[in-house]
Amino acid sequence: MQKVNWIAVFVVWLAAGSLVAQTGSQTVNTKGVAPLDAQREKHALQVLLKIAEELVIPAVDAMPADKFGFAPTDGEFKGVRTFGQIVKHLSATNHILAAAALAEDPPPDSGDEVGPDTVRTKAEILTYLKSSFVHLSKAVEAIGQDTPLNPSPISPLKRDVATRSALIVESLMHAADHYGQMVEYLRMNGVVPPASRP
């Protein structure tokens, strides 16, 4: 859990630095801080993306296949997504935000953040999840390119403020949020998340 907290702090710091670098009108004390440039942003986001993958993919794989339809029912959980739906939603969002960062149209099968209807089994969901991280990795590689972005239908960032870095940071924040939800679902089913194992 400590690792996730540091990731969140670093993601917020990176997003703030990216915003300041783009506005150019604000003064920031950069003493002792590496200068912000496309290569450094790319490298930092590659590191964070790898950490997200190493947390999320093993957590999804740890859930037994027969529990992908699990959703809590005790307490205030009416209408929440099942475990499998969470993973498909996270994956579809990754694809949509990566597409925007790469100036692509949103994938037609992303289903407005719910993912393809044809993806149902644990194996299919894991494959879809992994492909979404590959798509995000391509978006990270495009940082520094002088090509336009597509507006994302799901991002609060409009065309005039969106950047590749910001869209990737948005996807990482989203993944961290749902990783926490997955951890709860795993523990409710007696599964210790891989990142929490000794």
CATH number of residue 11's parent domain: 1.20.120.450
| CB-based contact 132:91 (threshold 8 Å) | yes
Using DSSP's 3-state secondary structure scheme, residue 142 falls into coil
Q: Measured in whole angstroms, how far is the alpha carbon of residue 101 from the centre of its chain?
A: 13
Q: What is the mean pLDDT of the chain?
A: 86
Helix-helix angle 122-141:38-62, to 10 degrees = 170
Q: How many whole angstroms separate alpha carbon 70 and alpha carbon 51?
A: 26
Give tens-digit pLDDT for 149-177: 888 888 898 877 889 999 999 999 999 99
Specify the amino acid at residue 94: N
Question: Which are the contacts of 33, defined by CB distance < 8 A and separation ≥ 6?
Answer: none
The encoded tokens of residue 55 equal 């947390």
Give tens-digit pLDDT for 74-113: 888 888 999 999 999 999 999 999 999 999 998 888 877 9
Burial class (CB in 10 A: 0-12, 13-18, 19+), 24: exposed
Please determine, for residue 20, whether its predicted confidence score (pLDDT) is greater than 80: no
Question: Which are the contacts of 122, defined by CB distance < 8 A and separation ≥ 6?
Answer: 63, 65, 68, 84
| Higher pLDDT among residues 161 and 179, named by residue | 179
The encoded tokens of residue 107 equal 């994938």
Q: How many whole angstroms separate alpha carbon 84 and alpha carbon 155?
A: 23
What's the domain count of the chain? Answer: 1
Residue-level pLDDT at 7 = 55
Site of tokens 């630095």: 17
Q: What is the mean pLDDT of residues 131-146?
A: 95
Domain containing residue 135: 2-196
Regarding pTM above 0.75, the answer is: yes
| CB-based contact 14:41 (threshold 8 Å) | yes
